[in-house]
Amino acid sequence: MSVNQGSIELTVVRNPGGKFDRWDASSGGKNCVPSACAVTVQHGNSGQVSITISDPHGPTTGPQKVTFASSPLQLPPMPKPEIHHVSGGGTANLSFLDHNWDAGTIKYTLQFNNAPQIDPIIQNTGGGPGVQQNFLPTTAGAFALDLAIAFVVGIVVALIVRRLASR
């Protein structure tokens, strides 16, 4: 197993009055539109994603400083949680890990203080490394299936014990 490193660099562009105007962005050293910036996690790997904010003409403190919100990452509903270990809320540096279990595009939303949200992309190619699985069912259907299997096994064991006891 290896870990892909992916990064997005966001730069705050301010208007002549010093207010936030727009985002400039790059990923992997290439300029991109913030809503189309993509990090690709290669097949069989997990991904360490880092996103940084640069505000060269902005204040270093105060109400106009641009940082990630305290809950900086909003993810679409997924059957399995791909993203975990999110850190950096309230700062200019955000990082998280991507399991990359399933192939597909994850269009997530980044939330900020003093700037509008953006929706960059993670392109998973799938086959990410496994992790220790939780033995508990994670959905009502899985729980019902586990319960039915346990019931059938219980009946079979009871019949075997009854037959052995009658000899």
pTM of the shown model? 0.71
Question: What fold, for 3-125?
Answer: Immunoglobulin-like (2.60.40)
Q: Please state the rounded mean pLDDT for residues 94-98.
A: 91
Domain boundary assignment for the chain: 3-125, 134-167
DSSP secondary structure string for all residues of 15-28: -TTSSEEEEEEEET
CA distance 40 to 28: 10
Q: Please state the rounded mean pLDDT for residues 22-31.
A: 91
- HSE, CB side, 13 Å, CA atoms: give it for residue 114: 21
pLDDT surpasses 50 at 16:
yes
Say what the pLDDT of residue 101 is.
79
Say what the pLDDT of residue 67 is.
95
Higher pLDDT among residues 152 and 60, named by residue: 152
Say what the pLDDT of residue 135 is.
54
